[in-house]
Structure 1
Amino acid sequence: MIDPTPSSAPLSRRDALRWTFALTLGSSVAGLAGCGGDGPTTEDTLPDPGVLRSVNGRLEMDLVLRYGHEPRTINASTGAQAAVYPAASQQVMTELRCYNGQYMAPTLIVNAGDVLRIRLVNQLPANPVDPTTIADLSFQNSTNLHFHGMHVDPKEIRPGVYGDYMVDSWDAGVVPGATRQHEVHIPLDHPPGIYWYHPHLHGATNAQVSSGMFGAILIRSPDDAFVTPDEFTERVFHVHKLSLDADGRTDTFAESEDVTASNFVLNGAYQPTMTMRPGEIQIWHFINVASFYPFNPTLDQHVMQSFARDGNVFDKKFIPVDASTAPLTLASGQIDVQHWPGNALYPGGRLSVLVKASDVPGSYLLRAGSAPSSQYDEEIVGRLVVEGVPVTMVMPSPANLPALAGYEPITDDEVARAGGKHRDLVLAALQKDDPRIASPIPAGEQWFIPDPDPQNEFVFGVGAAGPSIRLSPFQSSLTPTQTVPLNAVEEWTIHSLNEYPHPFHIHINDMYVVRINGEPVTPFWCDTLPVPSHGNFTFRMRFTDFTGKFVWHCHALDHEDMGMMQLVDVV
């Protein structure tokens, strides 16, 4: 394997699009499509991840986990500076866990029906001792690999070769010095769209993703008549917040949790500049890879048109994305059930949008959050400079959005024919003396961080909803708590006992959301969705194609690492 030492400088759109990556035959490195001459003269400073494309139905690569040493530019202060452009910034030399020594792994472009083979190589040093002393947080240098949102086999598919395998105990996984071979067979009818990959070992996920261990996956389909990659520039935006200690590191769970997070960075860049020509149309894929914070984008004096959430295209329509569609709540303070969750992307979620640049040259700010729509301060996360020779481009028609096989509406009759199974589940962080927590705590269990950490007063867990909730964390048992027959069609309602809208994510099969807080809504497909504060949502699911164990959890990764996760077994 060739594994050259990467440059410490961030990759930029103009000089990168080749990623110093360990490749094997069957892969190629190339950039996403872009417009040619007569374009903007302002420098485009949004780093683009490198791109690897499958060749002849196969993409094979090594993904090496080690420490990378490179500078990062972040905000110099928080608070009011977040809504200023340009804001004060500072450069910090970082030493963070990453893939192949580089912040932000490459975008993998594959086709439905392809085979994706990734050899995960753990070159990290031995596991450090986490100062919390809690057992399942003491393996921060062990790891594994999750293919977020993809409908693929979750099992060890043959001895030593794994699919989307996520049932490691926290003291196992791919330990320092070990390797694991993944082989993901993408079904021929897999929905095209944006997915991503990241580590998922219980107890180590928050610190590793917070360090920058993530990459995008774009799945293409030859039957997709909506757009072709050659028509439009297509860009991936990893929306992230860094949690760096004084030495530019994020070594332990405590550091990833307790250090004040930076403002949002896009592909690792703070307030970068994007450039377009007047009238140009681009496709932007937003992926919220932050560990806790929601991201709801708006672009000044532009209306972005979203056409897919979590890779699932909407039903022959666009949904406008601007300041008027951003709010999560009505003026009364109640949530807008019919439009939940607005433009907001909670951790793990993705939003694909069409951006048509204004005919008026100028500089336009890309914002996240605002006082009416979020409990978090508004941030200016970048700017779009529109300049150069105008172009005439025609927006694609939503009538051409593909109808996806296996994603037809799940009706009342279909659920009834399958037995009408309904499950009510709850996730919450409760004080450790709350009567809704399972009691007594089993001998030898560590359900909360010991003193003096402020997290020590809470138990993060899941349970069955009802009048006598008994909450317990994932680490209390590695046995499945939900057993589902293959080809079952079920309805689940997910409840939250907290103010924070926990982002619920389930692996392998997508959710068909039918009710928010008990009220019927226009159904939609997704794989990650926030649960309304002290509320619930209801989805239906077809458990098709794959048997095996996988998980559902809160995608606020510190919550997941503390136990807000549960095992499902399809048999």
Structure 2
Amino acid sequence: MLCWLRFTVLVYISCFPWNNVSGCNNTAPCKFKGGELLEHLDQLSVNSTHPGNINVSLIEIKLEWFTTNRRVFNGKLAAPTIRFTETDGLHIRLTNNLPGNPVSPTNYSINRVMLDISGLRLHPDTFERDSLQDLINPGESTSISRNIFNRNSGTYLYGTYTNGSSHFMISSGLCGMAVVEDSSSNIHEILFNISCPDHCGDEIQLLFGSTMQYSQSGGDFGSLQSTVGDEDNRNLEILTGTNQTLEDWLRDDNNGVNYVTVNGQIQPTLTLQTGQMKRFRLASCCATQALNLTFDRSHCDVREVASDGSYHSNPREPATLLLPGSTFDWIVVCNTPGTFQVGKLLFT
């Protein structure tokens, strides 16, 4: 049975002032406000001459007043977008900077990593010694070089998933967007003229993640940490004047900490110019939940041109259900000034 959870993730099209959360911290928490301007994802273009570096590390991140430790790619909660062409293929140097695996009775290997790009058709004749999905121990690195089949241009996801701990790894932040660049010969001129590499200013990437789902009715990240043995990084700070921990507060449904982040942010804002055509790449790094996408059609015209790395023969009405590990490509034109929202209602 499908159950709607009690929260909404919003991407507002307009600009709002940043909300003040001064005085709040890990021992005196308060409600999250959201409203920051949307940050663009880092772009990592790779080829055979200049392979890209992907580093996996355990770092302290901060969201508004909240600080916590997370396993991430290249030092940010929002992973970089890996970009490459069909001609050059994928060329990555993967380095594991995580500490040694914690001793856990469940024997999860949460600090061994690998790299997987979902849905991408790799050419089997080019497999070298190191597999794309080989596990890399802490302190080790490996070079990954793969050719791909033709007509693979599109939007994909990459991540690291190990030994039954995929839910934990994805929710921590080890998931990102991968783009096989279009060529002018295989897509329509209109789409090519609003896409990278020549028109990156017209391309908007939205990476959805289950990285702030703490409440018991949601992802319950604190329980995931306990299950896999990530005890040293749980938020067990004692709240001022109480016997309650911060994790207790985060897990309390009354506090509403059940956010899907967008580019590593809570309810960010975005400004679009009236009449300007944009290409949206949407990708779900949610671990287990689907997102129901809504768009105010009285303000904007939206057409879906691709899903899961495959282009449609013609633009069509956009699908509204973005499943875990799935991607959409939209063309969006907003012709009416105003403030509205792209709502994401989460359910399982």
Q: Aligned to 1:209, which of 170, 174, 189? A: 170
Give how far 1:101 is off: 2.1
Q: Aligned to 2:145, which of 180, 183, 198? A: 183
State yes or no: 1:192 paired with 2:158: no
CA distance 1:269–1:305, shift in 2 (3 Å): same
Point out the structure with max Rg over C-alpha. Answer: 1
Give how far 1:315 is off: 2.1
Q: Aligned to 1:143, which of 113, 125, 130? A: 113
SS in structure 2 of the partner of residue 207 of structure 1: helix
Q: Is the 8 A contact 2:126 2:146 kept in 1?
A: no
RMSD, aligned CA: 3.0
Q: Which residue of 2 aligns with 1:237?
A: 206
Q: Which amino acid aligns with 2:210?
A: K
CA distance 1:41–1:265, shift in 2 (3 Å): closer
Give how far 1:311 is off: 1.3
Structure 1 Cα separation of the partners of residues 112 and 171 of structure 2: 15
Give how far 1:95 is off: 0.8
State yes or no: 1:104 paired with 2:102: no
Give how far 1:254 is off: 5.1
State yes or no: 1:119 paired with 2:110: no
Q: Which amino acid aligns with 2:341?
A: L
State yes or no: 1:366 paired with 2:335: no
Q: Which residue of 1 aligns with 2:23?
A: none
Q: Which residue of 2 aligns with 1:348?
A: 325
TM-score, with normalisation over the residues of structure 1? Answer: 0.45
User: How do 1:329-478 and structure 2 match up within 5 A?
Assistant: 342-359=319-336, 361-369=337-345, 376=347
CA distance 1:59–1:204, shift in 2 (3 Å): farther
State yes or no: 1:157 paired with 2:157: no
Q: Which amino acid aligns with 2:326?
A: G
Structure 2 Cα separation of the partners of residues 144 and 252 of structure 1: 22
Structure 1 Cα separation of the partners of residues 306 and 136 of structure 2: 34
CA distance 1:178–1:45, shift in 2 (3 Å): same
SS in structure 2 of the partner of residue 315 of structure 1: strand
Identity %: 21
Greater relative contact order structure (CA < 8 Å, 6+ sep): 2
Q: Is the 8 A contact 2:212 2:260 kept in 1?
A: no
State yes or no: 1:311 paired with 2:309: yes
SS in structure 1 of the partner of residue 169 of structure 2: helix
Residues 342-384 of structure 1 show CA distances to partners (whole Å, capped at 9, x for unaligned) of 521111011111111123x111111013xxxx8x3xxxxxxxx
Give how far 1:296 is off: 2.0
Give how far 1:100 is off: 2.5
Q: Is the 8 A contact 2:58 2:71 kept in 1?
A: yes
Structure 2 Cα separation of the partners of residues 119 and 267 of structure 1: 23
Structure 1 Cα separation of the partners of residues 213 and 124 of structure 2: 33
Give how far 1:110 is off: 1.5
Q: Which residue of 2 aligns with 1:476?
A: none
TM-score, with normalisation over the residues of structure 2? Answer: 0.71
How many residues align structurally? 278
Residues 89-116 of structure 1 show CA distances to partners (whole Å, capped at 9, x for unaligned) of xx31121011222212211222111132
User: How do 1:46-65 and structure 2 match up within 5 A?
Assistant: 46-54=38-46, 58-65=49-56
Q: Aligned to 2:270, which of 269, 274, 298? A: 274
Structure 2 Cα separation of the partners of residues 310 and 94 of structure 1: 32
Structure 1 Cα separation of the partners of residues 124 and 159 of structure 2: 15
CA distance 1:154–1:129, shift in 2 (3 Å): farther
Q: Which residue of 2 aligns with 1:45?
A: 37
Q: Gapped runs of 5+ residues in structure 2?
A: 1-13, 18-35, 216-220, 231-246, 252-256
Q: Which amino acid aligns with 1:320?
A: E
Give how far 1:278 is off: 0.7
Give how far 1:151 is off: 0.5
Structure 2 Cα separation of the partners of residues 212 and 314 of structure 1: 30
Q: Which residue of 2 aligns with 1:386?
A: none
CA distance 1:62–1:262, shift in 2 (3 Å): same
SS in structure 1 of the partner of residue 168 of structure 2: helix
Q: Gapped runs of 5+ residues in structure 1?
A: 1-39, 74-90, 322-341, 377-499, 501-571
Q: Is the 8 A contact 1:118 1:182 kept in 2?
A: yes
Q: Which amino acid aligns with 2:112?
A: S
Q: Is the 8 A contact 2:46 2:92 kept in 1?
A: no
